[in-house]
Amino acid sequence: MQQLANGVWRLQSGQPEAHTPVSLRETEMKTEALEKLACEGRPPFTLEEVAVKRTARGVNIELPLGAEEQIYGFGLQLHRVNHTGRKKVIRVNSDPIADTGDGHAPVPFYVSTAGYGVFVDTSRYATFYCGTNLPKGASEHKQFETKSVATSEIELYGYQTASGERSVVIDVPFAEGIHVYFFEGPDLISAVQRYNLFSGGGCLPPLWGLGMWYRAYSAARNEDVQRLAEGFRNDRMPVDVFGFEPGWQTKAYSCSFVWDESRFPEHESMLDSLYGMNYKVNLWEHLFVHPTSPMYQALKPHSGNYEVWEGLVPDLAVKEAKEVFADHHLREFVDKGISGFKLDECDSSDFVHSNWSFPDIAEFPSGMDGEQMHNQLGTLYQAAVQAPFEVAGKRTLSQVRSSGALASPFPFVLYSDLYNHKVFIRGIVNSGFSGLLWTPEVRQAESPEDLIRRIQTVVFSPLALLNCWRIPNPPWMQVDREKNVRGEFLDNYEEVRDVCRELFELRMSLIPYVYSSFAKYSFEGLPPFRALVMDYPDDPNTYGIDDAYMMGESLLVAPMVTGETKRSVYLPKGRWWDFWTNKPYEGGQTYECTPGLRHIPVFVKDQTLLPLAKPLPYVSDDCTFELTVRAYGSAPSDCLLYEDDGSSFHYREGEYNWVKLSWHPDHQGAIAHSGNYDGCKYKVVSWEAIR
Amino acid sequence: MQQLANGVWRLQSGQPEAHTPVSLRETEMKTEALEKLACEGRPPFTLEEVAVKRTARGVNIELPLGAEEQIYGFGLQLHRVNHTGRKKVIRVNSDPIADTGDGHAPVPFYVSTAGYGVFVDTSRYATFYCGTNLPKGASEHKQFETKSVATSEIELYGYQTASGERSVVIDVPFAEGIHVYFFEGPDLISAVQRYNLFSGGGCLPPLWGLGMWYRAYSAARNEDVQRLAEGFRNDRMPVDVFGFEPGWQTKAYSCSFVWDESRFPEHESMLDSLYGMNYKVNLWEHLFVHPTSPMYQALKPHSGNYEVWEGLVPDLAVKEAKEVFADHHLREFVDKGISGFKLDECDSSDFVHSNWSFPDIAEFPSGMDGEQMHNQLGTLYQAAVQAPFEVAGKRTLSQVRSSGALASPFPFVLYSDLYNHKVFIRGIVNSGFSGLLWTPEVRQAESPEDLIRRIQTVVFSPLALLNCWRIPNPPWMQVDREKNVRGEFLDNYEEVRDVCRELFELRMSLIPYVYSSFAKYSFEGLPPFRALVMDYPDDPNTYGIDDAYMMGESLLVAPMVTGETKRSVYLPKGRWWDFWTNKPYEGGQTYECTPGLRHIPVFVKDQTLLPLAKPLPYVSDDCTFELTVRAYGSAPSDCLLYEDDGSSFHYREGEYNWVKLSWHPDHQGAIAHSGNYDGCKYKVVSWEAIR
């Protein structure tokens, strides 16, 4: 068992494969930050407790699982939070319709309430059996109760989970050897932090990335874009990012990566106009390269042996392919002001009527096969598209539909074509276990109520996105798609728009708080959005919560879905304050909340200093946030706000500040900047005591 | 390319695995019957056309796929009939909720409209890519149309199928070598027949197995069974088989395989009473052996290394385990008059909230791993439970929830916990491609209409089963479960019961026709239930039909589901006669049918002699079928009815007759028995000319 850094251990067995998440990554672990996280300096398992076996089918790993332990992680699992007793297959897929492990971003990493993490370094479709079965004979001498006869499936299958001498069994196909990484705690959240720091730390988005995003109609033309962009400003709807869907390219499915001049004549002047209105621009694409693309010939020798949708599949693990791809993006887009991309369909489809992507047996020039490439495609693609931003010295926040292991340094946010609102909320809860970010994007709505409920969830998420690719007019004008296309608007659209504006503005006031949470993600590996069990691992009431989460350290968010007029919210021990009414609640119990349509349950942890900004219409480079600081409780702790230029990589050279807000009961509060950034983003305009 | 029999070819590459469907089977191919099927005597592919490659991940096979070819098969696929352009994984699973290939009985066998079949002899989760992808560069020089911009998922994904130089690519994991079997046509149906004869021919059920089946309430006790059994006789509801659900055992989940004397005191006298009323008795079980089972100690050394539901998983590929299992079934059940079993949960679960079964990495004493055992469990289990019936000299017809390759000789019918009626109908259409039988069992109904629609489908299926394990009273008394449990009956239950009785009696009159179709399955490999494309491979209109099928050679059945008042039915070229009204229809076109609630569209092929029996209340050993023979068209062909004792294996020694019905316009018809069976099951009482 080799110690790689403070609290990070590695076990090798046999000859690991050449292509794995660790061998393919380009970032380095944050050794210094790991040093600062206290731990016992002892791996969570002894060598004797870890059984690794080479079999005809690959490598088989078995680890103990205590009777009370609860298992979390495995990436963006959309169907379940607590994986104890379940089987999970780490296989990338675009339509994870069931709780199989498949998903946009499955990760061979899990953490336990016992306070440790396990990462299996493989790009294979590994299967994790988390205490599903007992060994033969384990039940032989049990006392059995007289059975009652089941007359429903729930009775038959419901209670049938294994208890007793459990283990986690991991099946890594085809490998002849393996590296297993162990992360010490002492608690669950520290194990996650260590995994993120081992991955290279969390990403730090540009400030503008935390504003509102709007993706426009796929069939939009120049004039439609102009109309929408001006409309948001005229209607005082804060929007920072304007997204183009496939229609911007001459060919999409597969992609040409070339502006379609028939829809967007003089697209550069259109972009200038958008930039002039302070929009950032994001372009949709996927990886498959159409024969009409200028990159085609250069990429052909470095591509896999099968086409997808008539396009090449470039092997981005090959330096030349990555360079061709990154250079085109730098020259044609990033250097021309484009701020980010939406990387679609880098997953793979099996569960819907139209399956697609390359076969698992595909061969790539790097030596990877299709299976490995599927599980790595998301992160390889992110690395290739991030590269031009590194060259240009500009941060991006972008979107991606697939990710995987060691992904926390990538400034990309996951999304999905699935659309059940509860599933989307669960995505926020789960993504934080595995170094991922997720947006429960608003795409369509069955009613204004549904629209509002979904917007409420995105404004309390990593990326506040409205993806309106199917409708030419904003959804607050009309939620019904057919009517929206015909330009028939809701009678009360102004009222709906006002509610939406209020929520957009709420998002704008949360930016300093969220940005600082991201800074802790970057420097300390602390997930900005996370399950309650991460902060309260000793409270079994949090173990199964999949519909509420922490946003930063101080806000507990419990979204609601359309049709609900009330919901129950469990508050962990301690006092909590209603974000809207300032009413105090004693934790350790469950409350029935009826916040009305304009609000969802949000609670502030006791003794919090919460900075809320006066909403800006957009985030410009030189903006300043005017803060009202709410002081909850009798003696609020200091609050550290993170400050830098908000858009470059200078922070990596130390050009940032920690701005300390402190509360003094007598003279209210104080603000103190310290660090090497010489700008000033924050100004406190008022303090509010809430008791 | 080695010729194994007339029209059956085998290709070997490398060293095939020790455990495969062929190596594990106990039946032999029907060489003589294969001789009788004409063919060219040339394998469908030359050696040069078949690429087999050994890679680090197993064996990779590539076969040509013509531009017009349509691919069918892969076992009991519930979500699609035509697999061209799709990916299918041969992985057994109990909840195949999507079109992935997973299912109760996936089979690594496909047939093509070009008139050949391909069987890959593996128990692995092999993946078949049926023309999903083109090789790199294939699209480079295509002419591309100017795109229109998609604004919906259907537009984006709908048309994206590969055309051009396609192939079928097969990924067999872990294997170091493989046997691939090729079956000549000349047409699709002959290729299927050859596969079935290679498997050992189709099964021949006992005559009683073709009557009505009723599975009783899981929590039923002695007195409840008696009440139901007497009720059917009093109400003149023809029922042949009475099924017990888990409640009969002292322990179930896992199983003790011992009668529960608290629910069924003196169960032997209860059985005698059922036998006295001419019921056959079927017992539910699964394979997992509870510690309290008398078989436990004997099976323990021959079981896999993990428990399922506290029970052993016996390795039925080991002779000793099979013997212990078969001996217990012979001594305790078959010798005591039990006629069959329902083998539940021999699949495995991944797609629902309660996954279960052993891991793929489980180890079995035979040397098989969990993956291989999963795909073989269904057939190994069928072989073990069939064994005592062979010893006793009695045929069974039983149920099983999982099956696989080479299964046609097993007298077992598949069923599922899925319950969408259209999916169930598709199961009938698909099962015939791969040597499987399937019952679209009636389990619950949302209304009397739903009940009737579902019963109509089962009476035109291999097994006419009502599985009433969740309700204590017959469903025609009350479809609502809660009310049924409380004994609150429908106001018009007599009316509903009368419609049901009419359908039950229809099933009884079809027995001679269905039994003879099964005899052709047994002797010639001809599936008794099959897709229209099998009989009409040159008619592209049949290629996608997944909601109508042939029952035997002469009946085209098009079931309806609740809520439908009409449905369209495509009739292939030729004349067809409405089964109910005797109205003629010209084929080669689609008709809108409105048969009313009491009927579904059923059409009789022109020039058919269709024997319909006077409905018996049950099938006893000495029963005789009094036939009315309907003569459709101007010059009906002869009809061959199969005749034997209906229950023993003497037919294997030639004790059977083919009874020829011939039509003579002048003096109506003639019946002629020929063969070595000295009984007489059929008597023609009338002839009806239909023109």
Token couple for B499: 């419609």
A75 forms bridges with which residues in the sheet?
A: A106
Burial of B300 (0-12, 13-18, 19+ CB in 10 A): middle
Q: How far is CA B575 from CA B298, B535, B572, B585, B690, in A?
A: 61, 15, 9, 6, 13
pLDDT of the residue at A161: 56
What distance in Å separates residue A555's CA from the closest CA in chain B? 31
User: A517-573, pLDDT tens digit by residue?
Assistant: 999 999 999 999 999 999 999 999 999 999 999 999 999 999 999 999 999 999 999
Q: CA-to-CA distance for A258 and B478, rounded, in angstroms?
A: 65
Q: Choose among B133, B147, B296: nearest Cβ to A251.
A: B147
Token couple for A522: 């970057």
Q: CA-to-CA distance for A496 and A473, rounded, in angstroms?
A: 14
The verdict on A314 touching B (C-beta cutoff 8 Å) is: no
Token couple for B516: 């003879």
Q: CA-to-CA distance for A40 and A190, rounded, in angstroms?
A: 12
Token couple for B496: 């509903």
Token couple for A211: 């504003």
Q: Residue B511 in 3-state DSSP?
A: helix
Q: Which range (A153-162, A281-290, A432-441, B45-54) has the least confidence? A: A153-162
Instruction: Tell which wins on pLDDT, A158 or A6.
Output: A6
The alpha carbon of B390 is separated from its chain's Cα centroid by a whole number of angstroms, namely 21
Number of CB pairs, chain A paired with chain B, less than 8 A apart: 216
B491: how many CB neighbours lie within 10 A of its CB? 7
A76 with A403: CB under 8 angstroms?
yes
H or E element in which residue A5 lies: strand A2-5
A24 with A317: CB under 8 angstroms?
yes
Residue A373 φ/ψ region, left for φ over 0, alpha for ψ in the -120 to 50 degree band, beta for the rest? alpha
In the block, tokens 């050994």 appear at B54
Written in H, E and C, the secondary structure of B16-46 is CCCCCHHHHCCCCCCHHHHHHCCCCCCCCCC
**Which chain A positions have a beta carbon within 8 Å of B443's beta carbon?**
none
The total number of residues written for chain A in this structure: 691
- CA atoms within a 13 Å half-sphere pointing along the CA-CB vector of B76: 35
Under an 8 A CB cutoff, do B350 and A100 touch? yes
B502 with B598: CB under 8 angstroms?
yes
Q: CA-to-CA distance for B93 and B643, rounded, in angstroms?
A: 38
**Which chain B positions have a beta carbon within 8 Å of A350's beta carbon?**
87, 98, 100
Contacts of residues A270-273 at CB distance under 8 Å and 24 or more positions apart, as own/partner, are A270/A222, A270/A225, A270/A226, A271/A336, A271/A337, A271/A338, A273/A226, A273/A229
What average pLDDT score do residues A648-664 get? 97
pLDDT of the residue at B163: 66
Q: What residues have CB less than 8 Å from A362, skipping those under 6 apart?
A: A304, A305, A306, A313, A369, A370, A373, B133
Token couple for A506: 């709420």
pTM of the model as a whole: 0.96
Tell me which residue of B661, B445, B658 sits closest to B561, measured CA to CA.
B445
B45 with B215: CB under 8 angstroms?
no
Residue A328 one-letter amino acid: H
What distance in Å separates residue B646's CA from the closest CA in chain A? 35
Tell me which residue of B273, B278, B204 sits closest to B241, measured CA to CA.
B278
B72 with B188: CB under 8 angstroms?
yes
pLDDT of the residue at B159: 46
Q: Residue A494 in 3-state DSSP?
A: helix
H or E element in which residue B593 lies: strand B589-593
For chain A, which domains are there?
A: 2-199 (2.60.40.1760), 216-486 (3.20.20.80), 529-604 (2.60.40.1180)
Residue B427 one-letter amino acid: G
The verdict on B308 touching A (C-beta cutoff 8 Å) is: yes
Concatenated DSSP letters for A304-352?
-SB-BTTBB-B-TTSHHHHHHHHHHHHHHTGGGT--EEEEES-S-B-SS
Burial of A478 (0-12, 13-18, 19+ CB in 10 A): buried
Q: What are phi and psi of A521, to 5 degrees?
A: -65, -45
pLDDT of the residue at B354: 77
Interface list for A 97-126 with B (CB within 8 A): 97-100
Concatenated DSSP letters for A576-628?
EEETTT--EEESSEEEEE---TT---EEEETT-EEEEEPPPSS--TT--EEEE
**B interface test, pick of A222, A306, A467 with most B CB neighbours within 10 Å:** A306
Q: CA-to-CA distance for A411 and A396, rounded, in angstroms?
A: 7
Comparing alpha-carbon positions, the chain A residue that sits nearest to B291 is A140
Q: DSSP E strands: which ranges in A157-202?
A: 166-173, 176-184
Comparing alpha-carbon positions, the chain B residue that sits nearest to A219 is B149
Q: How far is CA B375 from CA B25, B105, B165, in A?
A: 13, 8, 32
Tell me which residue of A292, A302, A437, A310 sits closest to A373, measured CA to CA.
A302
Under an 8 A CB cutoff, do B151 and A470 touch? yes
**Which chain B positions have a beta carbon within 8 Å of A285's beta carbon?**
none
User: A224-238, pLDDT tens digit by residue?
Assistant: 999 999 999 999 999
Q: Choose among B58, B153, B169: nearest Cβ to A359.
A: B169
pLDDT of the residue at A665: 79
pLDDT of the residue at A208: 98
**A interface test, pick of B89, B147, B348 with most A CB neighbours within 10 Å:** B147
Token couple for A594: 């009826």
Mean pLDDT, chain A, rounded, equals 96
In B383-412, which positions are buried (b, 16+ CB within 10 angstroms) versus exposed (e)? Answer: bbbbbbbeebebbbbbbbbbbbbbbbbbbb
The verdict on B252 touching A (C-beta cutoff 8 Å) is: yes
Q: Choose among A87, A250, A351: nearest Cβ to B355.
A: A87
**Which chain B positions have a beta carbon within 8 Å of A225's beta carbon?**
none
Q: Which ipTM score applies to this complex?
A: 0.95
The verdict on B56 touching A (C-beta cutoff 8 Å) is: yes
- Whether the bond into B540 is cis, omega within 30 of 0: no
The verdict on B296 touching A (C-beta cutoff 8 Å) is: yes
Q: CA-to-CA distance for A519 and A535, rounded, in angstroms?
A: 18
Q: Residue B52 in 3-state DSSP?
A: strand
- Whether the bond into B254 is cis, omega within 30 of 0: yes
**Which chain B positions have a beta carbon within 8 Å of A246's beta carbon?**
149-150, 156
- DSSP, res A83: -
In the sheet that holds A412-414, the strands lie side by side as A412-414, A398-400, A340-344, A280-286, A241-244, A212-215, A464-467
Q: CA quadruple A527, A531, A534, A536: dihedral positive or negative?
A: positive
pLDDT of the residue at A159: 47
Q: CA-to-CA distance for A558 and A569, rounded, in angstroms?
A: 7
User: B136-194, pLDDT tens digit by residue?
Assistant: 999 999 888 777 787 777 666 654 555 667 899 999 999 999 999 999 999 999 999 99
- DSSP, res B258: S
Q: CA-to-CA distance for A366 and B477, rounded, in angstroms?
A: 67
Interface list for B 171-190 with A (CB within 8 A): 171, 173-174
Q: DSSP E strands: which ranges in B92-239?
A: 106-112, 116-120, 127-130, 167-173, 176-184, 212-215
In the block, tokens 């010295």 appear at A393
Q: CA-to-CA distance for B445 and B479, rounded, in angstroms?
A: 6
Burial of A129 (0-12, 13-18, 19+ CB in 10 A): buried
The verdict on A411 touching B (C-beta cutoff 8 Å) is: no
pLDDT of the residue at B686: 95
Q: CA-to-CA distance for B357 and B309, rounded, in angstroms?
A: 8
What residue ranges of chain B have pLDDT lower than 70? Answer: 154-164
- CA atoms within a 13 Å half-sphere pointing along the CA-CB vector of B501: 16
Do the strands B639-643 and B87-89 form a parallel or antiparallel pair, or are they unpaired?
unpaired
What distance in Å separates residue A638's CA from the closest CA in chain B? 44
Q: CA-to-CA distance for A263 and A248, rounded, in angstroms?
A: 7
User: A12-29, pLDDT tens digit by residue?
Assistant: 999 999 999 999 999 999
What average pLDDT score do residues A319-324 get? 98
